[in-house]
Structure 1
Amino acid sequence: MPQPQPQQNPQAVGFLYPGHSAEDDYPRLEAVLRETGAGLRLPLVHTDIGEDAHRVDALLEMGSAARLADGMRELAGRGAQAVVWACTSASFVFGWEGAHEQVRGLAATAGMPASSTSFAFVHAARALGVERVAVAATYPVDVAEHFVAFLKSAGIEVVALRGSGIITAAEVGTWGRSETLAMAGAGDHADAQAVLLPDTALHTAAYLPGLEEALGKPVLTANQVTVWEGLRLLGRPVTTDRLGALFAR
């Protein structure tokens, strides 16, 4: 069967990524998408995070409108038709309404459709028909509880929560397959239809099939759902068996 040919002028989703930790997941994800012939680019720029801390006050500053606007100025001219704030914690800490306001402000600044990783988790769970989830977070529990509240506002029940107590994204970025698998397994629950790993500082792009095989259910991870959300904004679904159940549909 002939392979699909990429578009001559590929569409692009732009990502604003806080700091430096697991940003290499994005070229890895882009390479997988390229193998499908989808003809998509994923340009990424780094935003200034200020203090690297999984602490509510620091996260509110990290996700401030001024910092996102600075990131958009750097992303301008990269050919993006949609943009995603590639951060979970510095979106859900604003609460359901505040996170909507954050995205509306980003869309207005960007002049294009916009979203964030927190909303990506909600949309991904709905796409899979998932109503009950377990959350296995790298964050301290008090920060992770804000994510639980965010999911509850979306009508998603969290049947189990596990926090790992890690303060900095820099430390999360050092984790490999074994640490990620251990956290996901420890955070799983028999009643959960899926397990959510909400931190874009965590490398997961290379581990998705193995995570789902080990847990026997869909696993939604931050960088995975962030890219999927960007494709959703473009109206460009991509199917591959290398990025978990979310992309296998």
Structure 2
Amino acid sequence: MTTVGLLYPGHLAEDDYPRLEVLLDSDIRLPLVHTDLAEDTYGEPELLALGAPERLAAGVEELRLAGAASVVWASAVGGFIRGPEGAQRQIRELARSAGVPASSTSFGFAHAVRRLGAAKVGVAAIWPAEIMARCTAFLASEGVEVVAAAGGDGSVPAARAAGWGRDEVLELARSADHPEAAAVLLPDTALHTVAHLEDLEAELRKPVLTASQVTVWEGLRLADRRAWAFHLGRLFAKPGL
């Protein structure tokens, strides 16, 4: 049995994780604890507060009791908004609090891109331009070149994006596709994407990395557990297939 503990902000697209658990090996468990999502906004003070140490630490004990072998802060923007050093400090504090290896969706994307050997990527999210710029800068600090970035104007709240279906998610992914991009990233954990991974990769004809998929993959990587699965995109594809 391998248990990956997840700290997820608010109540948005968390039902992606039970779907992932079903599609993965039967002895993988993904217990999830909700952290406080005070405001659905893209203001920097609010985003910094989203991943405050005390908020993350509040959910750790429940995951420890669940037998988590690793813990992942399931928020990309809640990590990279602190910058490279702040994001590193955040997961160090989380690991210390949890007593097990820890990471965040932000670092999960950098590690997953390396795993696929995709040096250049496109990135699409609903975030406004200034938040997309922070995301691009964070990825650059991890050696990932963003050749296309597509964001919003901040007018779409996360709660509304959580209700998007296949067509809206596909349109978002297409907006960041680029001939030089070896993969396309959808880093917003508010989006439901697991049910659409096969369609996304078929449409773009390249790997597509999404927040819920990458979050779980990162937790399994930390737990030193390799897992292969159908229907979960190139990241979970068995080598040689």
Same fold (TM over 0.5): yes
Paired amino acid for 1:93: I
TM-score by length of 2: 0.96
Offset of residue 173 of structure 1: 0.6
Q: Post-superposition, which runs of at least 4 consecutive aligned residues in structure 1 deviate over 6 A?
A: none
**Alignment length (residue pairs):** 237
Aligned to 1:238: 227
Could you tell me whether the CA contact under 8 Å between 1:17 and 1:23 is conserved in 2?
A: yes
Following the alignment from structure 2 to structure 1, what is the Cα–Cα distance between the partners of residues 174 and 30? 30
Give the alignment of 1:1-249 within 5 angstroms: 10-34=1-25, 37=26, 39-166=27-154, 167-248=156-237, 249=239
Tell me the SS of whatever aligns to 1:51: coil
Paired amino acid for 2:145: E
Offset of residue 140 of structure 1: 1.1
Could you tell me whether the CA contact under 8 Å between 1:55 and 1:143 is conserved in 2?
A: no
Q: Which digits, 9 at most, give the CA deviation of each residue in 1:4-44, with x for residues without a partner?
A: xxxxxx2200000000000000000000013xx4x110000
Task: Name the % identity.
Answer: 55
Could you tell me whether the CA contact under 8 Å between 1:196 and 1:220 is conserved in 2?
A: yes
| Unaligned ranges ≥5, structure 1 | 1-9
Paired amino acid for 2:224: G
Following the alignment from structure 2 to structure 1, what is the Cα–Cα distance between the partners of residues 3 and 81? 28
| Structure 1 vs Structure 2 CA RMSD | 1.1
Tell me the SS of whatever aligns to 2:194: coil
Paired amino acid for 1:77: L
Could you tell me whether the CA contact under 8 Å between 2:2 and 2:225 is conserved in 1?
A: no
TM-score by length of 1: 0.93
Aligned to 1:4: none
Q: Which digits, 9 at most, give the CA deviation of each residue in 1:223-248, with x for residues without a partner?
A: 00000001101111111231000001
Could you tell me whether the CA contact under 8 Å between 1:54 and 1:169 is conserved in 2?
A: no
